[in-house]
A and B are shown apart, each in its own frame.
Chain A
């Protein structure tokens, strides 16, 4: 059974770093100070929140509202659930600390948030795009500034897809394993390296 988390203990331990607490439709939400988010999540992990349900991000239609990165945590033994959020400035650089060191399951989830929203997760071991291909450079599709039909016309998208080299379908890491990276022409190496990557 879903039970309420002990937000008071969290607030007592971290004080002002827990900036806000709210309840929405029975779910407990806390907002964390961005620079201390990893520390607080690590503390929660040690307090029994061993299960990471999901990591995602929310951008509101109202540009005045902050951009949010969301961690949903659960304690499997007691059923406590807590949703942690970090508010960032949607106009500024979007970056938070990675939690892959705490939850291995965060690996792909953070890659997806990076892919779809352009949030950089500092300390992530392999921050590549997850759903879009590595050399995709139209931007981050789930941002509100990204039009539903994409930035490029259908003709331009088709042209780019047809012009892609087969090597572009392998990551640089894979090409290095196959010792093929060094054999590529300089121009292609540059193009592969240009594929939008996070600032790790």
Chain B
């Protein structure tokens, strides 16, 4: 780029002897500065933990050279609740409510992951209807979580309208979720070997209506963002990670796929029969914020596709059993427990002792909206796990933040942090 020199005289308005307005030159002394002088002083800025752009109680200490980031040191743990420790003191089904509160933007998908891991320990195969309902739960969670990401990232970069659109749509899914589980956030939907409840009347029609009308909102967001000059300027080429780096940093989910690695747990390590659904996995190529946005936007369209297929299957499974027929894990119906001796014993054993998997260990993974969520259980044969490890996708994705922010501008730190899609409940656990 050619260097351009601009001659400029610094003046200030004043009055001359006759009282007329005139510009008087400022007597500034020019100090010659070398590049070293300008780079000498680094500034340390603390962002958070109480800052809306850190998406929770994340605290970043940023070392700045002018407006350039030299180093970012994240501090986490402000929301640490000791879930893993608590899990060691609870039965498997009692852990379900804890999972709601980890990634609280997609509680139903966490519930599903817990049930999968525990069923793996027990060697249980759930019923087909249960599988379809769990797929619906996972994809509903993906949509609401991505909508929160879309809206809040838009706000971080100065776009307010898509936030309102996406939260309006999110509300519709939350209403369905409330209809099904009775709760908007603490869903506790799954049980080992089945579900807490079947879908109520009107749920299927409501979800079908949502699937039919929701893509219009996505199209609107697409029109608003994808070719928007400000959006492109703020996101393209910012926070770039190559495919090798993304793998080396153990990233997962949209963060990994935006860098061009086509790994999706649903396709490559299928669970709940995902291999039988027809859907595509969007993959980016530049690994920047823009590609992460495109990947997440496309994933929502694909989730709608999966939901429609799952609803078709559900219609064919009307009246099919929901829970496994295994008194070791599923409570007998209340009417039987009150009238039948055997059922009462099963009821008593389960409530008092809990589900006891055999000795061993299992790692159950699902493709959560944030990335690969894994629950690692080690059992010693008792009803409480020896170890319940959460593989938190947000934590591992966030660990790459200092790398992505190297040499970026301070304003990019906010954009990059937003693009990781973190949720502090899961990071701090």
Interface residues of A (CB under 8 A from B): 1-2, 24-27, 29, 50-54, 56, 58-62, 70, 72, 76, 79, 83, 103-109, 112, 116, 129-133, 141-142, 146, 148, 169-171, 173-174, 177-178
> Min CB distance, B218 to chain A, in Å?
29
CB of B270 within 8 Å of the partner chain = yes
Between A and B, 26 residue pairs with Cβ closer than 8 Å are A25-B120, A25-B123, A25-B360, A26-B120, A51-B247, A52-B250, A53-B372, A53-B374, A56-B376, A60-B378, A60-B380, A70-B376, A79-B268, A103-B249, A105-B248, A105-B250, A106-B250, A108-B396, A108-B399, A112-B395, A116-B84, A131-B76, A131-B428, A141-B85, A148-B86, A177-B71
Asked if residues A178 and B44 are in contact (CB atoms below 8 Å), the reply is: yes
**Known A61-B380, A131-B428: A104·B387 in contact at CB below 8 Å:** no
CB of B136 within 8 Å of the partner chain = no
Interface residues of B (CB under 8 A from A): 42, 44, 61, 63, 71, 73, 75-77, 80, 82, 84-86, 89, 120-121, 123, 245, 247-251, 261, 263, 268-270, 360-363, 372, 374, 376, 378, 380, 386-387, 389, 391, 395-396, 399-400, 403, 428-429
Asked if residues B89 and A148 are in contact (CB atoms below 8 Å), the reply is: yes
Chain B hits for A131, CB < 8 A: 76-77, 80, 428-429
Chain B hits for A141, CB < 8 A: 82, 85
Chain B hits for A148, CB < 8 A: 85-86, 89
CA distance A50 to B44 in the complex (A): 35
Asked if residues B399 and A107 are in contact (CB atoms below 8 Å), the reply is: yes
Interface of A is mostly: loop
CA distance A50 to B389 in the complex (A): 22
Asked if residues A53 and B250 are in contact (CB atoms below 8 Å), the reply is: yes
Asked if residues A103 and B248 are in contact (CB atoms below 8 Å), the reply is: yes
Chain A hits for B399, CB < 8 A: 105, 107-108
Chain B hits for A2, CB < 8 A: 269
**Known A27-B361, A177-B44: A130·B380 in contact at CB below 8 Å:** no
Chain A hits for B76, CB < 8 A: 130-131
Asked if residues B63 and A177 are in contact (CB atoms below 8 Å), the reply is: yes
> Min CB distance, B186 to chain A, in Å?
22
Asked if residues A56 and B362 are in contact (CB atoms below 8 Å), the reply is: no
Chain A hits for B245, CB < 8 A: 104
Chain A hits for B82, CB < 8 A: 141
Beyond known contacts A54-B389, A60-B378, A133-B77: 5 more, CB 8 A cutoff: A56-B387, A58-B378, A72-B363, A131-B428, A174-B73
**Known A104-B403, A133-B77, A148-B86: A24·B360 in contact at CB below 8 Å:** yes
Asked if residues A60 and B386 are in contact (CB atoms below 8 Å), the reply is: yes
Nearest residue, chain B, Cβ from A175? B44
Asked if residues A104 and B73 are in contact (CB atoms below 8 Å), the reply is: no
CA distance A148 to B87 in the complex (A): 11
Asked if residues B380 and A54 are in contact (CB atoms below 8 Å), the reply is: no
CA distance A47 to B268 in the complex (A): 19
Asked if residues A104 and B360 are in contact (CB atoms below 8 Å), the reply is: no
Asked if residues B396 and A50 are in contact (CB atoms below 8 Å), the reply is: no
CA distance A116 to B250 in the complex (A): 21
CA distance A170 to B63 in the complex (A): 13
7 nearest A-B residue pairs (beta carbon): A105-B250, A131-B77, A108-B399, A178-B44, A24-B360, A25-B362, A105-B249
Chain A hits for B400, CB < 8 A: 104-105
Asked if residues A76 and B247 are in contact (CB atoms below 8 Å), the reply is: yes
CA distance A177 to B71 in the complex (A): 10
CA distance A129 to B428 in the complex (A): 12
Chain A hits for B63, CB < 8 A: 177
CA distance A51 to B380 in the complex (A): 29
Nearest residue, chain A, Cβ from B267? A1
CA distance A112 to B248 in the complex (A): 18
> Min CB distance, A70 to chain B, in Å?
8
Contact of A1 among B42, B270, B396, B429 (CB under 8 A): B270
CA distance A146 to B82 in the complex (A): 12
Asked if residues A103 and B80 are in contact (CB atoms below 8 Å), the reply is: no
Asked if residues A25 and B391 are in contact (CB atoms below 8 Å), the reply is: no
CA distance A58 to B362 in the complex (A): 13
Chain A hits for B270, CB < 8 A: 1
Asked if residues B85 and A83 are in contact (CB atoms below 8 Å), the reply is: no
Chain A hits for B403, CB < 8 A: 104
> Min CB distance, B288 to chain A, in Å?
19
Chain B hits for A27, CB < 8 A: 361-363
CA distance A58 to B379 in the complex (A): 11
> Min CB distance, A104 to chain B, in Å?
5
Nearest residue, chain A, Cβ from B84? A142
**Known A131-B77, A171-B73: A58·B387 in contact at CB below 8 Å:** yes
